[in-house]
Amino acid sequence: MKLKNNIDKLGTIGLFITAIFSPCCFPIFAFIASAFGLGSFELFGGWTMWVFQAMVIISLIGFYISYRKYRCIYPLLIAIPSAAVIFYGYHFNDSDYYTYYIYAGMAGLLVATIVNYYRNKLHGSCVNCTPANEKEIELISIITCPNCGHKKTEKMSTDACQFFYECENCKTRLKPMQGDCCVFCSYGSVKCPPIQAGENCC
């Protein structure tokens, strides 16, 4: 498993571990801590809630990275409101029920992590991939014309970069934006194979 592809999971697991082993801050998990014989043990002491919030942020970063890679926005749409509920409950809700907001947010992040896992698994089993440098390289990219918005699914070459591309709808001749090596890196849903493989583009 690559660390970059699992940041959301690490963050979500981290916040649940923080909650389970901090029963004073998260009473609903006290029975789990008791089962481990920890009683009122605080894993991070006075830093518990700061560590917990850091894990929430790490999760959000992981969801964003996953979205950038796979363009599946559903986990991110679940994760952002869930994180907002957690921060609202901790920083802005002064009632005795603020922990319910935190629990609801945790549940949302767990759901987002599960959805993200299965969505990534679907992408990881693609039939249009080829191995390179111990990585699965996606060869299919949806190129979107910036002029008319027309989308076309194209198969990328593994041994040559495509510098020019003509939109079949408006006949605009596309070329890479500054800093990009090919039209797929600028307008495609997936970067070109060399970039995916971590190499310099041709």
- Please give the residue that has the higher pLDDT: either 158 or 176: 176
Query: What pLDDT is attached to residue 16?
Result: 77
Query: What pLDDT is attached to residue 69?
Result: 74
Residue 49 to residues 7, 25, 26, 77, Cα–Cα distance (Å): 20, 8, 10, 24
Q: Average pLDDT for residues 8-37, to the nearest whole number?
A: 68
Asked if 140 contacts 128 with a C-beta cutoff of 8 angstroms, the reply is: yes
Q: 69-79, pLDDT tens digit by residue?
A: 777 788 889 99
Query: What pLDDT is attached to residue 18?
Result: 74
Query: What pLDDT is attached to residue 188?
Result: 93
Question: Predicted confidence band at 4 (pLDDT cuts at 50, 70, 90)?
Answer: low
Q: Average pLDDT for residues 193-201, to the nearest whole number?
A: 78
Query: What pLDDT is attached to residue 117?
Result: 83
Q: What residues does 143 pair with on adjacent strands?
A: 152, 188
d(CA 176, CA 122): 29
Question: Predicted confidence band at 22 (pLDDT cuts at 50, 70, 90)?
Answer: low
Whether 136 has a pLDDT exceeding 80, the answer reads no
Q: Using CB atoms within 10 A of its CB, is residue 84 exposed (0-12), middle (13-18) or buried (19+)?
A: middle
Query: What pLDDT is attached to residue 36?
Result: 59
CB proximity list for 89: less than 8 A, separation 6 or greater: 98, 99, 100, 101, 102, 104, 105
Whether 41 has a pLDDT exceeding 60, the answer reads no
Smallest CA-to-CA distance from 44 within 36, 35, 54, 52 is with 52
Q: What residues does 131 pair with on adjacent strands?
A: 136
Smallest CA-to-CA distance from 87 within 109, 65, 66 is with 109
Domain boundaries, the chain: 3-124, 129-196
pTM (2 decimals)?
0.54
Q: 93-102, pLDDT tens digit by residue?
A: 888 788 889 8
Q: 43-66, pLDDT tens digit by residue?
A: 566 677 788 888 889 889 888 888
Return the H-helix or E-strand segment holding 140: strand 140-144
Provide the pairing of β-strand 165-166 with 151-155.
unpaired
d(CA 125, CA 201): 25
CB proximity list for 5: less than 8 A, separation 6 or greater: 65, 66, 69, 120
Query: What pLDDT is attached to residue 9?
Result: 79
Backbone angles phi, psi at 76, to 5 degrees: -70, -35
Residue 133 to residues 92, 157, 174, Cα–Cα distance (Å): 48, 16, 30
Whether 3 has a pLDDT exceeding 60, the answer reads no
